[in-house]
Amino acid sequence: MAQLTVDGLLGREVVIDACRSCRAFWFDPHEDLQLTPASTIQLFKMMAEGASSAAPFPTISRCPVCETRLLLTHDRQRNTPFVYWRCDQEHGRFTPFVEFLKQKDFVRAPTPQQLAELRRTIRVIRCGGCGAPIDLLHAVVCGHCGAAVSILDVKQLGELAPNKIPPPHQLTPPRLGPALNDKPPTLIDLGLEVILGWLGEII
């Protein structure tokens, strides 16, 4: 895993472990609650830099401290359900990037106008939860896991930015690269690609 040192609350440093290939964070106990707005933006930049090159999430994950198998855990942030894989010995949790965004309230449902735009421009996407394809012409919920189609909430993200510099609001990059066309993207990863340049300007 790669490590990223960021500022935490009360002036302390927090070292975050990240699996860039499987697109997930390992948080020691309560680390995710110690993040400042500036450090959260740094994690966004890490997520955005590899948005188009995700590998399949591991079917079995083990705690990096004690090697025990991690347990799938369901949780909720307000009305938003999210999941993570936790160590039963309380060494920490393994949280996929998209589930971290749900936990921090940076994901929302697209408006009817945005759905219409997505149906015109991309049509088939990949579920951010399980990876199954979703044909937007016929569904707004994943037929495999039941997760609703969701997009990155850039307005919420803009609240973290210094001087409230607004992020771009388009839903997809100007042109989808070959890697995205070969395999349906998730709307979250597309949103992260869109804001990558903006993140570089504000950090």
pTM of the model: 0.83
**pLDDT score of 101:** 92
Starting from the edge strand earliest in sequence, which strands make up the sheet with 24-27, in order? 2-7, 13-19, 24-27, 93-96, 80-86, 71-77
pLDDT over 90 (residue 23): no
User: Does residue 176 register a pLDDT over 60?
Assistant: no
The yes-or-no verdict on residue 54 having pLDDT over 50 is yes
> What is the rounded average pLDDT of the residues 143-147?
87
For residue 104, give its domain range. 2-202
Number of domains in the chain: 1
Exposure on the CB side of residue 164, measured as CA atoms within 13 A: 3
Percent of the chain predicted with pLDDT > 70? 93
